[in-house]
Amino acid sequence: MGFDRQRYIELQSQHIQARREQIGGKLYLEMGGKLFDDLHASRVLPGFTPDNKIAMLERLRDELEILICLNAKDLQRQKVRADLGIPYEDDLLRLVDVFRERGFLVEHVVLTQLEESNHVAHAFAARLERLGLKVARHGVIPGYPQDTTRIVSEQGLCANEHSETTRDLIVVTAPGPGSGKLATCLSQIYHDHRRGIRSGYAKFETFPIWDLPLEHPVNLAYEAATADLDDRNLIDPYHLAAHDTQVTSYNRDVDVFPLVRSLLTELTGTSPYASPTEMGVNMAGRGIVDDEVCRDAARQEIIRRYYKALVDERIHDREDDVSQRVAMVMSKAGCRTEDRAVVAPALAVQEATGHPGSALELADGTIITGKTSALLGCSAAMLLNALKRLAGLDDAVHLLSPASIEPIQTLKTQHLGSRNPRLHTDEVLIALSVSAATDENARLALAQLRSLEGCDVHTTTILGSVDEGIFRQLGIHVTSEPRFQRKALYQKR
């Protein structure tokens, strides 16, 4: 454990309350990263749970409401949330349900950068309104964020629709980065001011962590995670000028700071912030209790991001811009692909057998491998081998007999049109569940599934969507070599 969850929740709650008292009136709190399931943070800060932020906000539940932003262009691009494998529009609906189930008030959605020609986004807005949500439409403002004169004008923020919030603390969140959260906060403050409502802005952004060094692996892991956005960590020049102190920020916050300062000064006569860092209410750095554990975890995350970029580029036949950016981050962090313990064993299986191989590292450091056979794919074989090891069963034990596997293969190839007779991980788990009703070994093995959460896996070929989904649901961190199992122009995943 490198991170103290309870300490973080206490400090963060106190800091937000202090900022509310400092601002007075309404406070629009921009929440960077994932609000409910911050899987990235939980990977680079061991001990940080995916629901840390929402658990902290539950202390203020009756005083706040949540406003969700979605970039209309992401709807056109059919952008998918990578860690869940679902489109952004589905994630928005999921988030509304999750927040409401926890007792939070969620009534407002803002579609940002909406253009008249974006029929997909207009249709989604109409759907949201049919579902009872209140939708504000924000257009594209030319010159944003540099042209502050135009932005703070009738042609800029004034043209955006206003969300009529009812509480004094408004948490502004989104399915992912680049959703227009800051622009939404500024638009709300602008319209509030025109209505005589006092309001202000603060930012709750976990990464980069301002009081960690610029090239601390935890901050570099954030740079790797946002390489597709070309985000770059940097020393906050405004904070350095104002306080002669070096703190870590990133390019987008520095770029928009003049706009935030200009808007707040124009509307209220003064800005409470001298730098982007001062806008933040981030106490994550104070929650770190073992720096070396977090450094190691962050380096592993950077390597995972590198493999992810390689695979995405291979699948979509893209240039290697993103993977090269992550490679530069790896160099800064002083890590290599060889530092991922499961890579070499998986490659060794492929070299020895001539077929795809896989490897999994258990919590105690034990490496479990899987090879491709006539009955099982390498991922399915590895999964069974790992469960046997965790259950204390001899490696020679067959959890599934060929007689139980063959009917499934017949169903796949003769009735469901599959060309691949080998069982996927989901099919193996179903077969194991059936066997557990009558077989004690299968029951013992199945009971160990939860022990796989947080384990690392590497495969020598790009995973199919089914296996990828199973690993995600089990909480396993998987990477793959950027190679398809068979050579073909059309690759079905």
Instruction: Give pLDDT tens digits for 368-427.
Output: 999 999 888 999 999 999 999 999 999 888 888 777 778 887 887 777 777 777 888 988
Task: Give the pLDDT of residue 490.
Answer: 44
CB 264 within 8 A of CB 270: yes
The residue ranking higher by pLDDT, 258 or 297, is: 297
Long-range contacts, stretch 250-259, CB < 8 angstroms, 24+ apart: 250/208, 250/222, 250/223, 253/203, 253/205, 253/279, 255/145, 255/146, 256/145, 256/182, 258/145, 258/146, 258/148, 259/144, 259/145, 259/146, 259/148, 259/151, 259/186
Task: Give the pLDDT of residue 486.
Answer: 63
361 plus 277 within the same structural domain: no
**H or E segment at 99?**
helix 88-101
Task: List Cβ neighbours of 455 (8 Å cut-off, separation of 6 or more).
Answer: 360, 361, 362, 363, 386, 476, 477
Q: Does residue 334 fall inside a structural domain?
A: no
Task: Give the pLDDT of residue 493.
Answer: 53
Q: Does residue 322 fall inside a structural domain?
A: no
Instruction: Give pLDDT tens digits for 3-31.
Output: 999 999 999 989 998 998 888 889 999 98
CB 141 within 8 A of CB 157: yes
Residue 82 above 80 pLDDT?
no
Lowest mean pLDDT among 115-124, 128-137, 165-174, 391-400: 391-400
270 plus 356 within the same structural domain: no
CB 273 within 8 A of CB 279: yes
CB 74 within 8 A of CB 174: no
347 plus 200 within the same structural domain: no
Q: Does residue 192 fall inside a structural domain?
A: yes
**Can you tell me the mean pLDDT for 192-220?**
93
DSSP state of 376: B
* In the chain, % of residues over pLDDT 90: 68
10 plus 139 within the same structural domain: yes
Check which CATH number belongs to the domain holding 36 and give it: 3.10.630.10
173 plus 29 within the same structural domain: yes
424 plus 275 within the same structural domain: no
CB 280 within 8 A of CB 202: yes
Beta strands in 221-373 (DSSP E): 233-235, 248-250, 357-361, 367-371
Using DSSP, state whether 114 is helix, strand or coil. Answer: coil
360 plus 445 within the same structural domain: yes
Task: Give the pLDDT of residue 491.
Answer: 52
Using DSSP, state whether 182 is helix, strand or coil. Answer: helix
Task: List Cβ neighbours of 483 (8 Å cut-off, separation of 6 or more).
Answer: 314, 460, 461, 462
What's the mean pLDDT when you consider all of the chain?
91
Domain finish residue from 272, 287, 302: 287
**Can you tell me the mean pLDDT for 447-461?**
96
What residues make up the domain containing 177? 5-219+228-287
Between CA 321 and CA 226 the distance in angstroms is: 13
Length of the chain: 493
44 plus 191 within the same structural domain: yes
Between CA 409 and CA 400 the distance in angstroms is: 13
* In the chain, % of residues over pLDDT 70: 98
Q: Does residue 456 fall inside a structural domain?
A: yes
Task: List Cβ neighbours of 320 (8 Å cut-off, separation of 6 or more).
Answer: 310, 313
Residue from 23, 127, 36, 4 nearest 75 by CA: 127
Task: Give the pLDDT of residue 487.
Answer: 61
Pairing mode, strands 86-87 and 357-361: unpaired
146 plus 275 within the same structural domain: yes
Residue from 229, 151, 242, 141 nearest 190 by CA: 151
φ/ψ bin of 236: left (φ > 0), alpha (ψ from -120 to 50), beta (otherwise): beta
248 plus 361 within the same structural domain: no
**Can you tell me the mean pLDDT for 329-358?**
97
Distance of CA 306 to the CA centre of its chain: 15
Domain finish residue from 271, 287, 303: 287
CB 96 within 8 A of CB 68: yes
Between CA 384 and CA 179 the distance in angstroms is: 41
Q: Does residue 317 fall inside a structural domain?
A: no
Check which CATH number belongs to the domain holding 438 and give it: 3.40.140.40
Cα–Cα distances in Å, from 138 out to 13, 182, 268, 382?
31, 12, 23, 49
Cα–Cα distances in Å, from 178 out to 113, 203, 315?
10, 15, 23
Residue 174 above 50 pLDDT?
yes
DSSP one-letter string for 184-213: HHHHHHHHHHHTT--EEEEEE--SS-TTS-
**Can you tell me the mean pLDDT for 360-373?**
96
- Domain count of the fold of the chain: 2
Residue 268 above 80 pLDDT?
no
42 plus 186 within the same structural domain: yes
**Can you tell me the mean pLDDT for 57-85?**
89
Q: Does residue 308 fall inside a structural domain?
A: no
**H or E segment at 107?**
strand 105-112
232 plus 361 within the same structural domain: no
Q: Does residue 319 fall inside a structural domain?
A: no
Between CA 208 and CA 40 the distance in angstroms is: 12
Place of tokens 């530069």: 328
DSSP one-letter string for 21-73: HHH-SEEEEEE-S-SS--HHHHHHSTT--TTHHHHHHGGGGGGEEEEEEEEHH
**Can you tell me the mean pLDDT for 174-184?**
89
Between CA 118 and CA 115 the distance in angstroms is: 5
φ/ψ of residue 185, rounded to 5: -60, -45
Place of tokens 């690392």: 456
Q: Does residue 465 fall inside a structural domain?
A: yes
Using DSSP, state whether 134 is helix, strand or coil. Answer: strand
DSSP one-letter string for 468-487: HHHHHHTT-EEEE-S--SS-
Task: Give the pLDDT of residue 489.
Answer: 43
DSSP state of 220: H
Lowest mean pLDDT among 29-33, 113-117, 179-183: 29-33
Q: What is the pTM of this model?
A: 0.86
